[in-house]
Amino acid sequence: MKRFFIGLSLLSCVSFLQAQDGWEAGFWLGTTNYFGDLNTSYDLSRPGLSGGIIARYNFNKRVAIKFSGSYGSVSADDAESSNAFERARNLSFESPIVDATAQFEFNFLPYTHGSKDEFFTPYLFAGLSGFYFNPKATFEGEVYELRELGTEGQFKGEEYYTVQGALTYGGGIKVDLSYEWSLNVEIGARYLFTDYLDDVSTVYPDREDLLRDRGEIAVALSDRSVEIEGFDDSTIGQPGTQRGNSNNNDTYIMFGVGLLYYFGDLKCPTPSSRGF
């Protein structure tokens, strides 16, 4: 009977190691890039610093679920664009990003902590995110929160929400440093359920209405257009003309390197020669 229970314990231990279930936790550091109405050319020259915490549960060698909480920042400036319309439009923004994500991961290769053969794998993931943002712009040396100004003619009380959702997808590589520690390199995109991360989406509002409802600063930050040599910009700023493109929601991408500690260490009983 004693040998039966010892054997059962060893079998459970082996099954555990094969399944490689258990929790990991750690942190990551990296950058965040924004793509949208103020960055239509996918320019990567304005990365914002970002980082966060990670918790992952491994169901087996192939499948895991990961939770993360992250902070980053994004920004863009029409003045740096190669597009003449965008330079004439002359809008800019910056915003913090507070991101909470849950994602399912699939490992391309069997991945086992501490294994000499299964110590790394590329992986893909998909999930959902919730995030907070608050676009701002600098005007005459002062920083203004753009949402409160209704720059596209939003009525008071009908402004866009600064807490939104997103679809998350991407991929990465996991590499063991030891049994407990692993390094993760990951790039993940958030396709947002809003087009107002940059405060730009539809058309220019009526200036008189905006002046009456929101004031002079709102008018000034709604239309910051400038003259561009060789470009006819006479329609920019006119009520009802294009300010953004509401057909495509904004996106931000987080790239980072994470260091994780594995807690799934199960101490197996050592068989005694006397007991077998």
188-212 residue pLDDT tens? 999 999 999 999 999 999 999 999 9
pLDDT at 233: 76
How far from chain centre, in Å, is Cα 255? 8
19: pLDDT strictly greater than 80: no
Residue 126, token pair as written in the block: 């998909």
Model pTM score: 0.87
Task: Let me know: does 226 contact 84? Beta carbons within 8 Å.
Answer: no
pLDDT at 232: 79
Sign of CA dihedral 170, 60, 62, 263: positive
Give the closest residue to 52 by CA, choosing from 67, 33, 74: 67
| Least confident interval from 32-41, 88-97, 226-235 | 226-235
| Highest CATH level, class, for 21-262 | mainly beta
pLDDT at 21: 84
pLDDT at 2: 44
pLDDT at 4: 38
pLDDT at 234: 78
Where residue 271 falls among pLDDT bands split at 50, 70, 90?
low
pLDDT at 185: 98
pLDDT at 17: 42
238: pLDDT strictly greater than 60: yes
Chain segment 173-184, per-residue pLDDT in tens: 999 999 999 999
Where residue 3 falls among pLDDT bands split at 50, 70, 90?
low
269: pLDDT strictly greater than 80: no
pLDDT at 5: 38
What are the boundaries of each domain within the chain?
21-262
N-terminal to C-terminal alpha carbon distance within the chain: 11
Task: Let me know: does 66 contact 83? Beta carbons within 8 Å.
Answer: no
**73 Cβ contact partners less than 8 Å away, ≥ 6 residues apart:** 32, 48, 49, 50, 94, 95, 96, 97
Chain segment 25-49, per-residue pLDDT in tens: 999 999 999 999 999 999 999 999 9
Share above pLDDT 90 across residues of the chain, in percent, rounded to a whole number: 83
pLDDT at 12: 41
Residue 96, token pair as written in the block: 């913090």
243: pLDDT strictly greater than 80: yes
Task: Let me know: does 90 contact 79? Beta carbons within 8 Å.
Answer: yes
Chain segment 44-62, per-residue pLDDT in tens: 999 999 999 999 999 999 9
